[in-house]
Structure 1
């Protein structure tokens, strides 16, 4: 029976899971949260966030997790006078859950085209809104680590960068029962959703450390990646079957339907 491996952190595949169940009721869903999100609740960082906001010219939330964990750290309403930048639709939805929308008077920059939901797409929009970021204070709200490209673009224009790590990612433990879903499934009948390069690396590492049964997942399962960078990482890690699509549940559904049709 065909199955899909959902690798987002727990709770972040709920909408996609519901859409998949309605559209493909026979498609088995395997929950494999390769990374867990642990919010930063350090009072010192909460104070630093509040202290930085009055002088912030633009706040960049790097992901939906950054939105949720920043609001948890702030424990207050977001000031309407501080513009916000986000990469894509997931972050816009997370902001909306907190009442932060353009309709409510907030200034939000985000690429409108799902094919541009990445740092490069956001930088394009930001440069259209402002001729130069020289002398501006930019606050990055992010997880520990992550890609530094967007911050480097601001620095090159003479902006001052501040960042607060509002969460950290914890890899799924090797002895977690969640891995058993893979062991009981047939890789050649499986499509795995990968939405981060870090998750892909942890996935590949586990598979290679369990060669007695797991190596076939590297060779036979389909890896569906939501960005070319993730697909490139998968290729470098040794995955054989890789496909790519734009981020967003709607784009994923189209690709999953194509794969599912070919399986039947």
Structure 2
């Protein structure tokens, strides 16, 4: 397969290397990059007040960890740490932090954990980028927790003429797109010209959740595979399974 990888660096190149080892011919074009968040300076103080800390993404842990290094301090031991998925948990574990994460790498998976079911009266700090789903905070507030956010990073989307990109992808024979979020899908649609409709319809879409799959279906694109997550091994497995299905047809 010739999948289009739109995720930020360095993850895009890391994934591309793994896919090449499996015989694929990925095309890398990050539509998204990250910048330091506006609230990182308050991280140490906010951590000192927290009972639980939840990280929504790998980038949140990376930027927060870099901030702590700059301040010559560490993640406090009194907190309970929870990560939305295995990849985010692994990033924290590299810092020597003991982390709890659900098998269902979504807000719904986190909310099912017993630690959060017993969150009444707890001060919970959510580390994330600028904006995002409010479900987690809404449910935890309803359970009687005190929830606050800390913006660890900001998303910066590529703004350029999408027509030349479309020509490049068509010339490269791109036959599939790996999308890590609904926001990234919407950015792709905004970027490309209206003439891209047929090309978009011909692609096989690899997505991390039913929610993103539903949005792609609503846009009129029917060939969608829901991966087991956004981790590199989950993406590799999804493409490999799809390639085998095509071979056996």
Q: Taking structure 1 as the reference length, what is the TM-score of the superposition? A: 0.83
Q: Does structure 1 conserve the Cα–Cα contact (< 8 Å) formed by 2:2 and 2:176?
A: yes
Check if 1:86 corresponds to 2:69: no
- Count of aligned pairs: 242
**Cα offsets for 1:117-169 (capped at 9, x unmatched):** 111111111xx236532221110111111111111111001111111111111
Aligned residue in 2 for 1:103: none
Q: Does structure 1 conserve the Cα–Cα contact (< 8 Å) formed by 2:111 and 2:117?
A: no
In structure 2, runs of 5+ residues without a counterpart are none
| d(CA) in 1 for partners of 2:116, 2:159 | 45
Structure 1 residue 220: deviation in Å?
A: 0.3
Q: Does structure 2 conserve the Cα–Cα contact (< 8 Å) formed by 1:62 and 1:142?
A: yes
- Which of the residues 94, 98, 103 maps onto 1:97? 94
Aligned residue in 2 for 1:69: 63
In structure 1, runs of 5+ residues without a counterpart are 101-105
Q: Does structure 2 conserve the Cα–Cα contact (< 8 Å) formed by 1:138 and 1:159?
A: yes
Q: Does structure 1 conserve the Cα–Cα contact (< 8 Å) formed by 2:119 and 2:143?
A: yes
Q: Does structure 2 conserve the Cα–Cα contact (< 8 Å) formed by 1:220 and 1:240?
A: no
Aligned residue in 2 for 1:54: 48
Q: Does structure 1 conserve the Cα–Cα contact (< 8 Å) formed by 2:12 and 2:30?
A: no
| d(CA) in 1 for partners of 2:198, 2:183 | 21
| d(CA) in 2 for partners of 1:60, 1:14 | 27
Aligned residue in 2 for 1:120: 108
| d(CA) in 2 for partners of 1:16, 1:81 | 35
Shift of the 161–239 alpha-carbon distance from structure 1 to 2, 3 Å rule, reads same
Segment drifting more, 254-263 vs 243-252 = 254-263
Shift of the 130–92 alpha-carbon distance from structure 1 to 2, 3 Å rule, reads closer
Matches within 5 A, 1:113-262: 113=103, 116-125=104-113, 128-129=114-115, 132-175=118-161, 181-187=168-174, 190-207=175-192, 210-212=193-195, 214-247=196-229, 248-262=231-245
Structure 1 residue 171: deviation in Å?
A: 1.3
Shift of the 65–52 alpha-carbon distance from structure 1 to 2, 3 Å rule, reads same
**Cα offsets for 1:181-225 (capped at 9, x unmatched):** 4242335xx111111110011112223xx134x222321011111
In structure 2, the residue corresponding to 1:28 is in which secondary structure?
A: coil
Q: Taking structure 2 as the reference length, what is the TM-score of the superposition? A: 0.88
Segment drifting more, 129-138 vs 31-40 = 129-138
Shift of the 195–130 alpha-carbon distance from structure 1 to 2, 3 Å rule, reads closer
Q: Does structure 2 conserve the Cα–Cα contact (< 8 Å) formed by 1:218 and 1:240?
A: no
Structure 1 residue 34: deviation in Å?
A: 2.1
Structure 1 residue 262: deviation in Å?
A: 4.4
